[in-house]
Amino acid sequence: MKKSAAVFTTIILSLVLGFTASANGNTGSCDQIENDRYSYEVGISDESWMEMTYTEKVEAYSISQEILEDMTTQQLVQAVMDYPFLVDLTLFNTLEEGYAHVLSCSNALRELEKRTDGFMTLIEYYENMPVPIKEEEGDISIIKLTFAEILISNMADKVTVSEKQLDELIKVIDQKDDQKALASELYGTESNLRIAGMQVYRAEFTSHTVKSLKGVNVSVIHYLSDLSTAQKNQENIAYSQAYPQATILGTATTMYNCASYAMVNRSTSNIYWLNNLSPTAAGYTRLGSSLTNATAGGVIYYTRTDSLGSHVGVVHSTNGGKIIIRSKMGIGPLAQHEIQMCPYYLGNGGLIFYK
């Protein structure tokens, strides 16, 4: 059975009218703000940063409340777009989960949501973002457009806009779509405001039943479109910048996700997306939550208590007490990483091992 996605403009058109934007007159001034950009790296050495866990880095990237309140809304938008873990928006099974996770980690984004002019300032920033017509080596401006669009899509249902502002929003979206059409090979056939492979704004897909690696029937979906090559390349770069200790084993793609890789097909040629299925339902046997239960070739299940979804990975090795995981997060790349170096890690107490 074939299904299709709702477009972003539907969300915009459904907003309650009446939003009034007001300029924020504060002027940010701090050693960490230069040329209207907040520096997340001030005071963090390269050596110490490489040794920090994911949760420690999130804490280190928190901006002091005093600085936040002094930042202009334009500076705040820039701080959100510069957030070192902004790629996490794409590392969850849905756009909503990815946004909610980044919101829980980035106090810059939380502050932006509070500003009465926050959403419209984000739209203005997006309007001024360049739309590359060719891919430059090492550049991530194409995938940064995607990140901005995910932010817009999720903030859209939290604000109201006037009819005039609504017209402006639609013009900006149409303008960006027209610009992308000049280099459609870079942006694919799907609008980034409804990312293919994500549950909120789905691309077309077909439904199937396949066997898990344990021989249990599971329901999967096959998406009929994927990210463009440029989007894949830049998603890989953005992931590597945020997680330099990880090793990419397979490119970013909307074709398969964590559960499918861990429990259906451990190949980069996997074409199935498996949603909301526990290892037990796929035929795996629970071993326990102790790190001593980690078994090479077995499955690790990252659980969360904040309703932001779970994550499934493959235990690659346990040599020397260091547990190495292979997992595919959201539309991001397939990667090999230490157990605590992923956005789903909330402490050892949230881990369950299976075989």
Residue 98: exposure state from Cβ atoms within 10 A (0-12, 13-18, ≥19): buried
What would the pLDDT profile of 1-41 be if each residue is shown by its tens digit?
443 333 333 333 333 222 223 333 333 344 577 777 899 87
Query: Can you give the pLDDT at residue 256?
Result: 97
Query: Can you give the pLDDT at residue 47?
Result: 74
Alpha carbon distance 323, 332 (integer Å): 21
> CA dihedral defined by 22, 25, 27, 28, rounded to 10 degrees?
-30
Query: Can you give the pLDDT at residue 42?
Result: 64
Long-range contacts of 151-154 (CB under 8 A, 24+ apart): 151/80, 151/89, 151/99, 151/109, 151/122, 152/8, 152/119, 152/122, 152/123, 152/126, 152/193, 153/8, 153/11, 153/95, 153/99, 153/193, 153/194, 153/200, 153/201, 154/95, 154/96, 154/99
* 218 in Cβ contact with 274 (< 8 Å): yes
Alpha carbon distance 74, 56 (integer Å): 27
In the chain, the amino acid numbered 295 is T
Query: Can you give the pLDDT at residue 189?
Result: 60
Alpha carbon distance 68, 118 (integer Å): 13
- Arithmetic mean of pLDDT, 234-252: 97
Comparison of pLDDT for 281 and 320, the residue scoring more: 281
**Number of neighbouring beta carbons within 10 Å of residue 56:** 13
Query: Can you give the pLDDT at residue 52?
Result: 86
Query: Radius of gyration (Cα) for the chain, nearest Å?
Result: 21
How far is the CA of 315 from the CAs of 66, 89, 290, 312, in angstroms? 43, 24, 14, 10
Q: Which residues contact 124 (CB under 8 A, 6 or more apart)?
A: none
Alpha carbon distance 82, 155 (integer Å): 18
Mean pLDDT (the chain) is 85
Half-sphere exposure of 327 (CA within 13 A, CB side): 31
Comparison of pLDDT for 306 and 39, the residue scoring more: 39
Look up the pTM and report it: 0.87
How far is the CA of 102 from the CAs of 42, 57, 215, in angstroms? 21, 13, 36
Alpha carbon distance 16, 228 (integer Å): 34
Alpha carbon distance 352, 183 (integer Å): 45
What would the pLDDT profile of 163-189 be if each residue is shown by its tens digit?
888 888 888 988 998 999 999 899 876
